[in-house]
Structure 1
Amino acid sequence: MRKLIILGLLAATVAPSVASAQSYGEARRSERNLREEQRDLRQAQRYGDRRDVREERRDVRDARQEAREDWRDYRRNHRDVYRGGNWRAPFRYNQWNVGVRLRPAYYNSRYYIADPYRYRLPRPGVNQRWVRHYNDVMLVNVRNGRVVQVHRGFFW
């Protein structure tokens, strides 16, 4: 009887974690729903009364939290994409800041992130590239070598 109870408790703890696995499409849909709720909030602020606005704000806050949790689950379940790994480069690690000028060896095509959308990075601007530097990701202007944006510890 005791073993049966323990097995039941184990099954109850494992089942929610299996059910919470998010696919990329589900996470995208939750973001789309969040944008729709934010649009509804703006409309309620324009045309509605205060009670409606309060309820819409609460709904948007809850939707934001759910979207964050969905992406957290997605990243947790797809660790191979976000894995730090054994990243070797012909230079040592430096913690770069925004505005610093890099030598071309730090941002040559070998270190470009070819598909930034895979990592949910925003589209780079004209003459800009996302570059991996060990576990960090930097947005670099490839014409002058200036760092535009830095995400430290992006690849854990």
Structure 2
Amino acid sequence: MRKIILLGLMAAAIMPASAMAQSAGELRRDRQDIRQEQRDLRDARRYGDRRDVREEWRDYRRAKQEYREDWRDYRRTHRSVYRAGRWTAPFRYHSWRAGAVIRPSHYSSRYYIADPYRYRLPRPAANLRWVRHYNDVLLVNIRTGRVVDVHRGFFW
């Protein structure tokens, strides 16, 4: 049964990508398939033959590369959502890192990303907000001002 599943995944990875850009749902399914291949690769490393591992590793890298290309195509076709524009803030750009504490003026409600799903950002937990800082996106704890996560160059 496992070999049939692996053959199916390999066949899906080998099929050429369509000329049109994929939808967000298709990209999400591709990401799930890649994660499944990653799990299969880990299992093969533990229990399988070295040749199988090499082949599965190549297939995993190929699928990952195809996913990246599809994601680039998606961003290219949806430029209006991901464009940088002429966005500025009343403070200078600073390259934030996770764990840094920032002033409330840098993460006020004016800079919140109201709809993170539009940008395919994960849902923030309680007391966390996605904040735009020039072309970067920061996940900030609004009570403490601590930066939890940073996506650099998100708006290009």
TM-score by length of 1: 0.77
1:77 to partner: Cα distance: 0.9
Deviations 1:121-149 (A, max 9, x none): 23334422110122221111111112233
Per the alignment, residue 60 of structure 2 pairs with 60
- After superposition, residues 35-114 of structure 1 pair within 5 angstroms as 35-89=35-89, 91-98=90-97, 99-114=99-114
Q: Which runs of 4+ in 1 moved over 3 A?
A: none
Greater shift, 18-27 or 42-51, is seen at: 18-27
Deviations 1:21-77 (A, max 9, x none): 222222222212211211221222233211111111111111111111111111111
Structure 1 residues 37 and 144: CA distance shift in structure 2, 3 A: same
Task: Say if 2:145 is the partner of 1:142.
Answer: no
Greater shift, 121-130 or 73-82, is seen at: 121-130
**2: distance between equivalents of 1:152 and 1:54?**
33
- Secondary structure of 1:95's match? coil
- Alignment check: 8 A CA contact 1:30 1:70 kept: no
1:94 to partner: Cα distance: 2.2
- Alignment check: 8 A CA contact 1:127 1:142 kept: yes
- Alignment check: 8 A CA contact 2:93 2:134 kept: no
Per the alignment, residue 120 of structure 1 pairs with 120
Highest CA radius of gyration, 1 or 2?
A: 1
- Secondary structure of 1:114's match? coil
Query: Aligned-pair RMSD on alpha carbons?
Result: 2.0
Per the alignment, residue 129 of structure 1 pairs with 129
1:155 to partner: Cα distance: 0.8
Structure 1 residues 95 and 49: CA distance shift in structure 2, 3 A: same
What percent identity do the matched residue pairs reach? 69
**1: distance between equivalents of 2:152 and 2:129?**
16
Give 5+ residue unaligned stretches, structure 2.
1-17
Q: How many residues align?
A: 138
- Alignment check: 8 A CA contact 1:93 1:133 kept: no
